[in-house]
A and B are shown apart, each in its own frame.
Chain A
Amino acid sequence: MSERIYLYPLWIRLWHWTNAILCLFLIISGVSLQYSNPEFPIIRFDIAVSIHNIGGILLTLSYLVFFIGNLTTPNGKYYKIKMKGLFESLKKQFIYYTVGIFQHAEKPYPITRERKFNPLQKVSYLVAMYFFLPLMFITGWALLFPEINLRNVFGFSGLQLTSLLHVMMGFFVSVFLMVHIYFCTIGTTALSNFKSMIDGWH
């Protein structure tokens, strides 16, 4: 077994699991609100509204911890992308996931202390954390205070368009979460990556 690396400091682990639990609550309550049906209620509408509001506020605070943490600790460096050779490295990693992994090939970008994410992870985490989530927070807070929305945007309700964007971001984050959880099973064992996020050691 290769040398173990302490890759996930305590604050990252606490943030990660807080984030994960809040995201689950928000996705379930969000789906319940979007597809509310009196005959098959996932969660009673008013309860779902409260869960979603409280969950959204807490997730914003949790995101601020992540954002400030990445600015003030070495963890931020893992999200920096070099455009030179990016496409090639993405292609290499994609081929590994679709072909190489089944042939037990060497990982093209194994985890080291300097490289926590492979290129595909880096790009997808960057998009999720610095594009999807901020847009989700902006639209979510706008929906929490509906009166601040533009009443009419090119003939459509401003609130409607804000909601549409919010739901779309929610959808992308849900897809990200599914793929993220699945890829976490691609470790030394199916559970090793989950354990890493508990004790911090990879």
Chain B
Amino acid sequence: MIFKMKTYSKDILLLITGFLLLIASVFAADEKEVPQNIILNQKCFKCHGAKFYTFFNESQGKNVKERMNPYFVIDSATFYASNHKSFICTDCHSPEYKNFPHDGNLRMEAKFICMDCHGGDDTFAKFNFEGIESEFQKSVHSSRHDESFTCWMCHNPHSYKISARNTTNLSQTIAYDNAICLNCHADIDNYQMLTEKENPNILTTHDWLPNQKLHFSNVRCIECHAQNNDSILVAHLILPKEKAVKKCVQCHQSNSILLASLYKYQSKERRNQAGFFNAAILNESYIIGANRNLYLNIISLVIFGFVILGIAIHTVIRIIKK
């Protein structure tokens, strides 16, 4: 009897296991296939995706846990949300990095720059990378630094993603783009990688700006600090500070420069002279002097005209009938 029960329980166990495996296989079939680059990059992220890494030290004959250089830590979640998410690490880094320990000489290799891939390629024609490069070369970032100031200084290849072109939340785009500037201009370590100068305090240098907090959260640094160019979406010609926009009316007027910068993409899409309000700006923001309603302007002028006319007629009749 006991023997029989044991046999039955074995059968039931097998049946349940088989059933679970069947369900698991059905769900597994539904899951998306993991892209090949994620599988290949896993080996790199095992060490470079965390603060610590462990390896077998052959000399000591044991596993050793070490700190990863923080500048070599790549956040995999950020990387897989970036523009380069489909890349394999060795697309840009030497295939020899597959070996560990890495050969010290690999660090001496020149790194790719943006134009190595993006230049002269029709796939990226709409971004006009050549125009961007030309503007960058005229900017203070290029003219006041040596060749070590590359695109990577602002556009981290492991995390950068375009935001202005396809934004659905302008505030987020502004914060994202300003964080790029602040990465050096509000971080002494990064700033002094490029210059021996003391990093000026941005709050102090902008203390002349009214409603500083509002300006910082509602416009990008480049609105005032870069020269617009119609052939590229985001201005890259960063101007010397003396040439930065400082006159309020350059933004605060109906022909606001923001229409050619922050609202450029939207204004191309939605610019409409007679549109309700200044359509490109209005739905998301409010800028004194720039947000005007054509119809309200006309109505107000007509009412003012009638009031003045009424007063004039009344005055004339009063004088005649005196």
Let me know if B214 and A46 touch, CB within 8 A.
no
B273-294 contacts to A (CB < 8 Å): 277, 282-286, 288-289, 291-293
Q: Is B303 an interface residue (CB 8 A)?
A: yes
Q: Is A160 an interface residue (CB 8 A)?
A: yes
Let me know if A175 and B253 touch, CB within 8 A.
no
Closest chain-B Cβ to A6's Cβ sits at a distance in Å of: 28
**A147, A156, A182: the one within 8 Å of B214 (CB):** A147
**B211, B249, B285, B304: the one within 8 Å of A36 (CB):** B249
Let me know if A160 and B317 touch, CB within 8 A.
no
Instruction: State in angstroms the CA–CA spacing of A103 and B254 once bound together.
Output: 49
Q: Which residue of A lies closest to B213 (CB)?
A: A147
Q: Is A164 an interface residue (CB 8 A)?
A: yes
**B248, B282, B288: the one within 8 Å of A156 (CB):** B282
Q: Is A112 an interface residue (CB 8 A)?
A: no
Q: Is B271 an interface residue (CB 8 A)?
A: no
Q: Which residue of B lies closest to A167 (CB)?
A: B296
Closest chain-A Cβ to B94's Cβ sits at a distance in Å of: 49
Which B residues are CB-close (under 8 A) to A160? Answer: 277, 282, 285-286, 291
Q: Is A34 an interface residue (CB 8 A)?
A: yes
Which B residues are CB-close (under 8 A) to A168? Answer: 296
Which B residues are CB-close (under 8 A) to A34? Answer: 288-289, 292
Instruction: State in angstroms the CA–CA spacing of A86 and B106 once bound together.
Output: 93
**B211, B289, B307: the one within 8 Å of A179 (CB):** B307
Could you mark each residue 37-50 of chain A with 1 if its beta carbon is under 8 Å from any beta carbon of chain B, else 0? Answer: 11001000110010
Let me know if A46 and B210 touch, CB within 8 A.
yes
Q: Is A76 an interface residue (CB 8 A)?
A: no
Which A residues are CB-close (under 8 A) to B248? Answer: 36, 45-46, 49
Which A residues are CB-close (under 8 A) to B93? Answer: none
Which A residues are CB-close (under 8 A) to B292? Answer: 34-35
Closest chain-B Cβ to A32's Cβ sits at a distance in Å of: 9
A14-68 contacts to B (CB < 8 Å): 33-38, 41, 45-46, 49
B236-276 contacts to A (CB < 8 Å): 247-250, 252-254
**B214, B250, B291, B317: the one within 8 Å of A102 (CB):** B317
Instruction: State in angstroms the CA–CA spacing of A97 and B281 once bound together.
Output: 45
Q: Is A163 an interface residue (CB 8 A)?
A: yes
Which B residues are CB-close (under 8 A) to A157? Answer: 282-286
Instruction: State in angstroms the CA–CA spacing of A174 and B292 once bound together.
Output: 18
Closest chain-B Cβ to A27's Cβ sits at a distance in Å of: 12
Let me know if B308 and A178 touch, CB within 8 A.
yes
**B253, B254, B291, B311: the one within 8 Å of A182 (CB):** B311
Q: Which residue of B lies closest to A172 (CB)?
A: B303
Closest chain-A Cβ to B321's Cβ sits at a distance in Å of: 4
Let me know if A36 and B303 touch, CB within 8 A.
no
Which A residues are CB-close (under 8 A) to B210? Answer: 46, 49
Let me know if B252 and A45 touch, CB within 8 A.
yes
**A36, A155, A182: the one within 8 Å of B288 (CB):** A36
Instruction: State in angstroms the CA–CA spacing of A45 and B288 once bound together.
Output: 10
Instruction: State in angstroms the CA–CA spacing of A33 and B249 once bound together.
Output: 9
Q: Is B105 an interface residue (CB 8 A)?
A: no
Q: Which residue of A lies closest to B289 (CB)?
A: A36
Q: Is B62 an interface residue (CB 8 A)?
A: no
Q: Is B318 an interface residue (CB 8 A)?
A: yes
Q: Which residue of B lies closest to A103 (CB)?
A: B321
Instruction: State in angstroms the CA–CA spacing of A101 and B314 once bound together.
Output: 10
Q: Is B99 an interface residue (CB 8 A)?
A: no
Q: Which residue of B lies closest to A49 (CB)?
A: B210
Q: Is B300 an interface residue (CB 8 A)?
A: yes
Can you add 12 more A-B contacts, CB < 8 Å, to A164-B293, A168-B296, A182-B315? Answer: A33-B289, A36-B288, A37-B249, A38-B249, A45-B247, A49-B288, A146-B211, A146-B214, A147-B214, A163-B286, A163-B291, A167-B296
- 13 of the cross-chain contacts (CB-CB < 8 Å) are A34-B292, A37-B249, A45-B252, A49-B288, A102-B317, A102-B321, A103-B321, A155-B283, A157-B282, A160-B286, A171-B300, A171-B303, A182-B315
